[in-house]
Amino acid sequence: MKIENSNLKKDKVGTLKRIYLVLRSAVLWIISGLHFFIVCSLLVLLAVFVDPRKNDRSQRWFFRNILRLAGVGFEVRYAPGFDPTRTSFFVCNHINLFDAFVIYSAIPQFVRGLELESHFKVPAYGWMMKRFGNIPVPNNNSPSEFRKLMKRTKDALDDGISLIVFAEGTRTLTGRVGPFKEGVFRMAVQFGYPVVPMSITGSYEFNRKGSWMLRPSKIVVYMHDTIETKDMGKQDAEILRERVHGIVSRPVDEALGIRKDSEVG
């Protein structure tokens, strides 16, 4: 009888906890969603009259505030070898819809993203990304479209604009960092711009792909050492890809409690 009462009590507590999380998530989505559409529309309107580069401070406040209103803690840890003054490719893991807000809040310089062309059709968000100068990545891989992408990327970097890239190409389903595509690393080597690995932890616990639940969590962003590519050749792109993947993965796996085989025993 005592065991049955204990199980009933646990079930009741579990049910109440689920109800709390559902209500909490609904309220946070409403608050952060209203803030997003109102402020985003104002920023898009402001960008018509003011160069987005001169308005970077208010944009950064906006992105950081989205995280606050979504009820998540936030911290950035910079490695000693990270150079905030260099125009770079920032390569980071991809978790959920809040990644853009996390990244813009963490990188202490003017930065834009490489985004799928289809994202530019999303109301409010797509308008803002287009006006702010994000680079569309074509959904098809035709040679002509690839050449356009390469030119847009090179022009942005030469103009002093650092670029964010989700090298996995899709959001994680497990929390772990998926395989990286080689494209960004070939561009980094070809153009001679450095790569900065970034690791986002705590975000998978906060929100996951396919779920609208917003759980209490603290997001920690690790900004790793800047990696030079000027002396690299085409043959080094694959090595660079593997190196950056290992750097990005390490804090993520540690946060998930996963140890590498070489570390076991």
pLDDT digits (tens, 9 = 90+) for 24-38: 999 999 998 888 888
Q: What is the pLDDT, as a whole number, of residue 264? A: 38
Q: What is the pLDDT, as a whole number, of residue 263? A: 46
What tokens does 215 get? 């759980």
Q: Where are the beta strands (DSSP E) in 122-246?
A: 135-137, 162-165, 195-201, 218-223
pLDDT > 90 fraction of the chain, expressed in percent and rounded: 57
**Domain spans of the chain?**
2-263
Closest C-alpha among 198, 199, 180 to residue 237: 180
Ramachandran sector of residue 193 (left: φ over 0; alpha: ψ -120 to 50; beta: rest): beta
* 2-263 is classed CATH 3.40.1130: yes
Q: How far is CA 99 from CA 15, 95, 173, 203, 217, in A?
A: 30, 7, 14, 8, 14
Banded model confidence at residue 262, pLDDT cuts 50, 70, 90: very low
Encode pLDDT of 115-145 as tens digits: 777 777 776 667 667 767 788 887 777 788 8
Encode pLDDT of 208-221 as tens digits: 998 999 999 999 99
Q: How far apart (Å, rounded) are the C-alpha atoms in residues 61 and 182?
A: 33
